[in-house]
Amino acid sequence: MHKHHSALGLATTLSTGITGYEIAKQRPVQAVTLVRPHAAARAARFFTEKFPGRTMYAVKANPSPDLLRVLWDAGVTHYDVASIGEVRLLSRTLPGATLCLMHPVKAEEVIREAYHEHGVRVFSLDSLEELDKIVRATGGAEDLTLCVRLQVSSDYSKLSLGAKFGASGADVKPLLMATRQVADSLGVCFHVGSQAMTPDAYAFAMDRVRAAIVEAGVVVDVVDVGGGFPSHYPGMEPPALERYFDTIHRAFENLPISYSAELWAEPGRALCAEYSSVVVRVEKRRGNELYINDGAYGALFDAAHLGWRFPVTLLREPDSRAKEMAFSFYGPTCDDLDRMAGPFHLPADVQAGDYLEIGMLGAYGSAMRTAFNGFGSDETVVVEDEPMVSMYTEAAPRVAANVVKL
């Protein structure tokens, strides 16, 4: 991994072929990932200091070992893992971390290895069948924290996570009662969906938690509000995170729960979105379509398949004075699906050979990468400048000589 001061500095050295590291002999053919450890550390400190409970990082958002170490150093000690692969990764990378296996449907062999070999004591479930698996796989262990996942609405979030998992209706009461009988600590958890755009998403979910606890008449030791905490993207400007925290805290204080009950959260996107971006080269322009060297099978999966818009800037010195216009992108593969509709706003004179930075790709960008069609790059550079936008600073979105403001 190399270090550079800024995206512009990287683009300038790449375009001239003069670099302090070897990306290519002359011009970079493949995309280059920029990482900003200071941005991830700032996000982690924000959560650990201001969220009124325990912060667990949802590893699926970005499982980079370097990022995991940054979050650990910034105070995140608990990690939401979903697979035995993630359990093993965390055990190797952060042997002192507390792992919580929060996937509600797991192979019995996974539960067994997680418990007996990696010290996992926290498990999520949403059915009596899953509860039976956990009991069998752990040998009837008496030191378990078991979190029953409830199905809640994703209506207030950009991406729904309410269809696949979660107990609902008449199943909730018997599941809570049965889990209480075998759990050392009983938890209730939920997920409001990814990129929740209003704190009300959590308020309504907590109402569902209250009703479930009252109906089952059980003592609850943990309330886990899951993830969904938002980041900034073009067209998605959420309220301040403090408002989410305040709403959650008020709802938690009014729940009929144990006096010593704990409040947990599982931020993923919110901790890592600002961690990385990607520098790409324009290989061809066709009207308002730009052919770039990363795409749907690389860091831009969400842009292609979910229509997600990411901030984008032209890295050129001197900066362009052309009026901006809307572009769409094609990625490097031979697949027509390798298209990002955008719109992505850039100066109208952008052309082949220009470099672009596409921001806010720390969440899911790296995790979704493939080497389909032989394209892809592991080249990573540490930079010290600020991300294009931030939920954690009072500064305006980054505007410099090389940046076109969206």
59: CATH: 3.20.20.10
Are 365 and 321 part of one and the same domain?
A: yes
Distances (CA, A) of 330 to 106, 285, 327, 357, 368: 37, 10, 10, 15, 17
Residues 210-238: what's their mean pLDDT? 96
Distance CA 406, CA 24 (A): 31
Measured distance CA(286)–CA(266) in Å, rounded: 43
For residue 398, the cross-strand partners are none
What local confidence, expressed as pLDDT, does residue 399 receive?
37
Q: Which residue has the tokens 């009072």?
A: 394
Can you give the pLDDT at residue 334? 93
Q: Before 318, cis peptide (omega within 30)?
A: yes
Claim to verify: residue 246 and residue 290 sit in the same structural domain: no
Q: Which amino acid is at 203?
A: A
Q: Provide the angle, in degrees to the nearest 10, between the axes of the packed helices 65-73 and 84-93.
A: 60
- The distance from CA 109 to its chain's CA centroid, rounded to whole angstroms, is 27
Digit-coded pLDDT (tens) for 72-101: 999 999 999 999 999 999 999 999 999 999
Domain shared by 129 and 255, yes or no: yes
pLDDT computed for residue 159 by the predictor: 81
- What does each C-alpha distance from 105 to 82, 111, 123, 151, 255 come to in angstroms? 9, 10, 10, 14, 27
Instruction: Classify residue 388: in a domain, yes or no.
Output: no
Residue 173 has pLDDT above 50, yes or no: yes
Residues above pLDDT 90, as percent of the chain: 76
Please check whether residue 204 lies inside any domain of the structure: yes
Residues 241 and 295 in one domain: no
**Long-range CB pairs of 371-374, under 8 A, 24+ apart, other chains included:** 372/297, 372/333, 372/335, 373/297, 373/332, 373/333, 373/334, 373/335
Across the range 41-60, mean pLDDT stands at 97
Q: Do the domain assignments include residue 354?
A: yes
Return the active site residues. Answer: 334
- Report yes or no on 391 lying in a domain: no
Of all residues in the chain, the percent with pLDDT exceeding 70 is 90
Same domain, 16 and 63: no
pLDDT average, residue stretch 318-342: 93
Distance CA 79, CA 97 (A): 7
- pLDDT of 195 higher than 70: yes
Q: How far apart are CA 148 and CA 223, in angstroms?
A: 10
Number of Cβ atoms within 10 Å of the Cβ of 117: 12
Verify that 246 and 308 share a domain, yes or no: no
Last residue of a domain, one of 239, 272, 305: 272
How many residues can be counted in the chain? Answer: 406
Q: Based on the fold, state whether residues 30 and 61 are members of the same structural domain.
A: no
Same domain, 287 and 198: no
Host H or E run for residue 13 = helix 7-16
Question: Which tokens is 185 given?
Answer: 């600590």
Per-residue tokens: 22:
């070897």
- Listed residues 272, 300, 327: the one ending a domain: 272
Which segments of 228-358 are extended strands (E)?
A: 262-265, 276-286, 289-292, 312-315, 324-330, 339-347, 355-358
Beta-bridged to residue 325, according to DSSP, are 346
Question: Model confidence at 6, in pLDDT bands (50, 70, 90)?
Answer: low
In a domain, 401, yes or no: no
Structure tokens at 397: 């979105």
Looking at residue 401, its pLDDT comes to 29
- 203 in the same domain as 111: yes
Structural domain of residue 17, as residue ranges? Answer: 2-36+274-383
- Domain assignment present for residue 395? The answer is no
Phi, psi of 336 (to 5 degrees): -60, -25
* pLDDT at residue 337, as a whole number: 92
Residues 56-78, mean pLDDT to the nearest whole number = 97
Looking at the fold, whether 219 and 309 belong to one and the same domain comes out as: no
Higher pLDDT, 261 or 158: 261
Q: d(Cα 333, Cα 369) in Å, to the nearest integer?
A: 13
In a domain? residue 394: no
Does residue 375 carry a pLDDT above 70?
yes
Looking at the DSSP assignment, which residues form a beta bridge with residue 404?
A: none
Task: Tell me the average pLDDT of the chain.
Answer: 89
Q: Which of 272, 296, 319 is the last residue of a domain?
A: 272
Give the pTM. 0.89
pLDDT score recorded for residue 53:
97
User: Over the stretch 384-397, which tens digit does the pLDDT of each residue have?
Assistant: 888 989 999 864 44
Say yes or no: 213 and 296 in one domain. no
Question: Does residue 5 contact residue 383 with C-beta atoms inside 8 Å?
Answer: yes
Residues 233, 85 within the same domain = yes
Residue 302 resides in a domain: yes
Across residues 29-40, what is the average pLDDT?
Answer: 90
CATH number at residue 331: 2.40.37.10
Domain count, the chain: 2
Q: Kindly indicate the confidence band of residue 155, based on its pLDDT and cuts at 50, 70 and 90.
A: confident
